[in-house]
Amino acid sequence: MLQSLSSRNVRFIFNGYPTHQRIGADTFTDDRSRVQLSRAETLARNMGITTVSLLPSFRETGLTKEELYHLPYDGHANKMGYLIQAKALLPAVRESIQEVRNISPASRP
C-alpha cells in the first residue's frame, strides 16, 4: 500500500487509535491485545510512515472512556473523542501540507 500511495505522490499518516480498553483501568485479558496498537505503531514508524498515537492525547485529558467513546453502545469515539483526535493529528497534517507546498512546481506530478 505504501508503495502504491508513494507512486501516486499520496501522503500517508498512520493514526493509532486506542480501544476503550486502554483508557483508565486496563481491561485487557491478555498481553497480546494490550500491546497490539503499540506494535503496529512501531512497525509503521520503522517503515518511515508518519505515525500519530492518540493514546497519550486521550490519557492527558483525564476523561473517562465513557466520555470519549459511545459506550456502552459501541466502541467508536464520540464527539469529544474525535475532537481530541483532530487536535492530535493537526501537527502531522500541517507538516505534510507544508512539505507539499515546498516542492517546486516543476517537480510536481
The string of pLDDT tens digits covering residues 66-78 is 999 999 888 899 9
What span, in angstroms and rounded, lies between the C-alpha atoms of 96 and 24?
Answer: 32
Domain coordinates of the chain in residue numbers?
A: 2-101
For 1-32, b/e burial (b = at least 16 CB within 10 A) is eeeeeeeeeeeeebebebbbebbbeeeeeeee
Residue 90 amino acid letter: L
Quickly list H helices, 16-78: 31-46, 55-61, 65-68
- 57 confidence band (pLDDT: 50, 70, 90): very high
Model pTM above 0.85: no
CATH of domain 2-101: 3.40.50.1110
Cβ count within 10 A of residue 80: 14
